[in-house]
Structure 1
Amino acid sequence: MDRFLQGRTALVTGSTSGIGLAIAQALAAAGARVAINGLGTAEQVDAALASVAATGSESRHFGADLRNPAEIEAMMAAVQDWGALDVLVNCAGIQHAAPLAEQPAHKWDDIIAINLSAAFHTMQQALPGMAGRGYGRVVNIASVHGLVASKNKAPYVASKFGIVGLSKVAALEYGAGGRRARGGGPRPGGCPGGG
């Protein structure tokens, strides 16, 4: 495989399992050193790190509760100390299906925090450095639910519509037109995923 990300540092949220882990493995196979973040037992985290490291790239787990902006800020600082962040993939996401009138308020808060607000916080920390260095990639994992609604998924649908909108704003601010205006910068954008 072409190791076109050799020397680059990537962070993938929600990467201790599933789609996030597969993305972390692919980035590592392309040469990036990969910071993984996500839930799981110590054994699950160790297994995720080992699977990423098996590609020949360095990996490290950075724990943060993505519902907590202070923990996200601390994680981003720790990742930046490890290596200037070149690739950010916001993949973390949760869901709770229930009719709108029966959706627990704390589930709404958790889903919006993890699926949407965490992406805002990571991007706010990462984008200025990417722009300053003239290189960066941000991929926000959305869903078909960022385009169409579905019953019993009010917070999830709201979060995915929000991530699409957030990605579009970042693309306008940091994309090709913005890069010319500032003399360099990343081209972030949304990447609809499955679900």
Structure 2
Amino acid sequence: MLNDIKKDAQARMGKSIESLRHNLVKVRTGRANTGLVDSIKVNYYGSDMPLSQVASVAVGDARSIIITPWEKQMVGAVEKAILASDLGLTPNTAGTVIRLNIPALTEERRKELTKVVHNEGEDAKVAIRNIRRDANHQVKELLKDKQITEDEATRTEAEIQKITDGAIKDVDDVVKAKETELMAV
């Protein structure tokens, strides 16, 4: 039972870290990354489809993303979706190829984005601490129901704390790496 609680907590903390990584991909760093356009939905014959399902997305060079719709008539819909997104990028179209030029970030914008990255990291830490609280609560319930001894409960809570410390260190590492990437010119 106690091992199940620890494994569940560790798995959930791992998912929180993966969620943080996924969220940080969307933060623009001045370098082209296909992850920037992952969240864009395109109106494809009346239904909203992810951009990756209606076009090929590739990195052209360090500062541009090239989008090639699979159907010629989808070029306009893809352009509209990019303009409607919160990326703040203007598509340049040449025939059926759409190019997104990623402008260099100003120092002020880099600092703003660093704050966003820190906030995402704090949210992930809060989620991890909530998972720790839930796991400790389950251990206390087992102790209250006299299914485990106090020594087992204390030992398990200490192990859960070690798992939590490791997860928070991972969050700090992910945030630090993204911050370094942002501040690199």
TM-score by length of 1: 0.26
Normalised by the size of structure 2, how large is the TM-score? Answer: 0.28
Higher relative contact order, chain-length normalized (CA < 8 Å, sep 6+): 2
Q: Which structure: greater helix fraction?
A: 2
